[in-house]
């Protein structure tokens, strides 16, 4: 057995199981294997021996248990990665997986009990073969200044970009989500995270929205001329619903572009709607009366108030991407997706799945009954001209195939 350049700590309070784990790791070729019977002993040992590559960690122990130990080493950096070895139920171990991630620790795997040599060997090699990432700079990138954001808005540097939504069965484009990108003349594309908070703080969200609407409706009209009917979806903050100008300005823009409200969708995050006042409710009703669709965005990421979902006039649910990322490994995510699809059908609401990044995810979602989705597997966000060219290319390819 070749030697593995690994320092491994076994944290297990049962003497025989601890001995089995230590012997198995040594047989697999680990250079240095240490052992401790509880978290306190393990912390003391780490202070003496220094950082270890892997902690093979039980969870239930007398004295300091595995949960507290993980909390401690998550802050200290004395453990590079963790393998969970526990006889706790699967749902509790899944919760610990989330806890490990939140602590900033790398979870190599969950081997359960009893230990199996082959499974353990695969996880050891997973650690050795993993790509070594460069540490991120400690200093955070500062937000853009108010002056520069106001200038960008005034000079038309904030552009509408478009990410297609598609039919999972046919690949047909159902519509697009309109996103904002700052194309700076010297710095290139600036992340929305650096300017959106500034727009909100300065009360400029409406001005940005109306500029986006004007750009997007121009692109929509060009797409229609090419034979493509695109529904345009815009992100709307709950605070914007209180604006008396929202619906009146929207009506003017629709008239100017010779289109109707049914070609638009407004996506609102659920967290901002928990205490929606009467004025917000009025705006939502007026948008629906104009024919616009209303989508509850990132559903499941906030409080998921079913009461609010029933009270407010939504006709679309957009399921948060975290459910898709964990679909293959978390049975509960599968159940949540199925339940949301059933809820949408019962309430007469479309369900859109966001965050689809692989064909395997698409096939899994199809098996669950999903019909509409969005994500990098299908298309990245793109500028208006690129969208029109992309649509035409797809159409030309389809025509040749026929």
Question: Looking at the annotation, which residues are catalytic?
Answer: 354
Prior bond of 114 cis (ω within 30°) = yes
**Residue 284 CB contacts under 8 Å (≥ 6 apart), including other chains:** 241, 276, 294, 312, 313
Q: To which residue do tokens 């991120």 refer?
A: 136
> What does the block give as tokens for 179?
């996103």
């Amino acid at each position: 057995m070749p030697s593995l350049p690994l320092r491994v700590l076994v944290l297990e309070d049962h003497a025989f199981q601890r001995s089995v784990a230590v012997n198995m790791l040594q047989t697999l070729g680990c250079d240095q294997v240490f052992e401790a019977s509880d978290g306190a002993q393990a912390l003391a040992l780490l202070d003496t021996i220094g950082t270890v590559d892997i902690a093979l960690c039980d969870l239930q122990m007398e004295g300091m248990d595995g949960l507290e130990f993980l909390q401690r080493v998550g802050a200290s950096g004395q453990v590079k990665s963790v393998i969970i070895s526990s006889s706790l139920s699967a749902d509790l171990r899944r919760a610990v997986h989330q806890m490990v991630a939140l602590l900033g620790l790398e979870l190599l795997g969950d081997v359960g009990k009893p230990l199996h040599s082959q499974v353990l060997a695969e996880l050891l090699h997973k650690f050795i073969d993993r790509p070594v990432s460069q540490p991120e700079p400690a200093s955070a990138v500062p937000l853009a200044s108010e002056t520069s954001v106001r200038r960008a808005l005034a000079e038309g540097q904030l552009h509408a970009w478009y990410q297609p939504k598609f039919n999972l069965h046919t690949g047909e484009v159902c519509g697009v989500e309109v996103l904002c990108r700052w194309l700076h003349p010297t710095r290139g594309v600036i992340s929305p995270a650096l300017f959106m908070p500034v727009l909100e703080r300065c009360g400029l969200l409406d001005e940005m929205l109306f500029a986006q609407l004007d750009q997007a409706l121009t692109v929509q009209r060009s797409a229609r001329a090419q034979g493509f009917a695109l529904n345009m979806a815009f992100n709307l903050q709950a605070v914007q619903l209180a604006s008396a100008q929202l619906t009146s300005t929207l009506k003017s823009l629709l008239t100017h572009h010779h289109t109707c409200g049914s070609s638009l969708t407004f996506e609102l995050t659920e967290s901002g709607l928990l205490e929606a006042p009467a004025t917000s409710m009025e705006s939502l009703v007026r948008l629906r009366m104009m024919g616009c669709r209303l989508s509850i965005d990132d559903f499941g990421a906030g409080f998921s108030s079913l009461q609010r979902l029933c009270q407010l006039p939504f006709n679309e649910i957009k399921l948060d991407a975290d459910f898709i990322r964990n679909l293959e490994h978390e049975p509960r995510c599968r159940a949540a997706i199925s339940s949301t699809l059933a809820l949408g059908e019962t309430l007469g609401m479309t369900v859109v799945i966001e965050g689809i990044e692989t064909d395997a995810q698409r096939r899994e979602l199809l098996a669950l009954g999903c019909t509409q989705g969005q994500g990098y597997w299908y298309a990245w966000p793109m500028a208006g001209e690129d969208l029109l060219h992309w649509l035409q290319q797809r159409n030309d390819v389809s025509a040749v195939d026929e």
